[in-house]
Amino acid sequence: GINAEYGVEVLSDLREGNETKPPELQREDDASVRVCLDKVGIDVASGNIWSDYVNFIRDGEAAGSYAENQKIMAVRRVYQRAVMMPLSNVEQLWRDYSTFEQNVNEIIAKKLLEERSRDYQNARRVAKDYEATTRGLTRGAPAVPPQNNSEERQQIDMWKKYITWEKNNPMRSDDNALIKKRVMYAYEQALLTWGHHPDIWYEAALFLERTANLVHEKGDTQTAQKWKDEVAGLYDKATTGLLRNNLLLHFAFADYEESRMNTAECHKIYTNLLTVVKDPTLVYVQFYEVRKACRRDPESPSDLQESSRGHQVYLSYFTLLVL
């Protein structure tokens, strides 16, 4: 996962010598910065990245009046995006934006600032709420297995409180994509430290699945499909990474793929799980239940490891044969 600190480093590297770079290289760097902002630009701590991006654009060479006007419009677009986000320095960004418009054209500055004022006030309110909601939250700690102590429980409760706050849509936005992006970013930041906790992965996947279903009901099937694929990607990241040995998360992943009629993927999940667990009995039981649900012809368990042949495996197998 990445965060605002990573974005600062990226932009710092790109700004070095920017004013002397050829135009084609400046365009490539600009595209890299926009990708970075798309990833971390909603982070409340990313305000300096937005400020640096403005300076990055200003540093670029602009030969002639047309190029200079293009630069002005580019700076304006960045400011207008930034001041509507709940950033820690949004008030300074608004002052800088106001000064920028005044210097460009005093006549149209008032109109442009009035048009953005409501969004800015909303962002300013949310930034203050964010500060109160996340006070005491620990970031950047290495991911370690559950310690089951009071400090850990307190921090997880605080992270879940913050995530719930994002789910409640403090931005008061009608944009499902923005709401989803903010909530999932909160989950991603939580998982940087709490990635060994399967409940957080599962809650994130469940939220994303429900959000995908919501936009599907509204008729946006393309976005819904994209987000449903992201659910599978999230499960895959968990079950091939820190929680590769977690049975329940694998089962949840397999159930999800089964619900999407992705039988081959479902079977692949169980097959992969069998390579990492010490006692595969429960995996076989669940696997054969899935095969039954999919109405697939059962395979004989004769090729199973001798040590894994518990009575539950055979009971599940024989039950399947007679149904």
Decide if 168 contacts 218 (C-beta within 8 A): no
pLDDT greater than 90 at residue 121: yes
Q: Which residue has the tokens 């059962």?
A: 298
Pseudo-torsion of CA 111, 117, 119, 122, nearest 10°?
-170
pLDDT reported for residue 311: 39
Q: What is the pLDDT of residues 164-178, one digit of tens each?
A: 999 999 999 999 999
Q: Which of 2, 67, 65 lies closest to 39, judged by CA?
A: 2
pLDDT reported for residue 316: 47
Q: What is the pLDDT of residues 230-243, one digit of tens each?
A: 999 999 999 999 99
Q: What is the pLDDT of residues 69-115, one digit of tens each?
A: 999 999 999 999 999 999 999 999 999 999 999 999 999 999 999 99
Amino acid symbol at 266: C
pTM, entire model:
0.84
Most confident of 25-29, 115-119, 319-323: 115-119
pLDDT reported for residue 12: 66
pLDDT band per the 50, 70, 90 thresholds, residue 67: confident
As a whole number of Å, the CA-based R_g of the chain is 25
Q: Which of 27, 28, 53, 55 lies closest to 40, judged by CA?
A: 53
pLDDT greater than 50 at residue 65: yes
- If one counts every other C-beta atom within 10 angstroms of the C-beta of residue 107, the result is 7
Calculate ∠ Cα 264-270-272, nearest 5°.
100
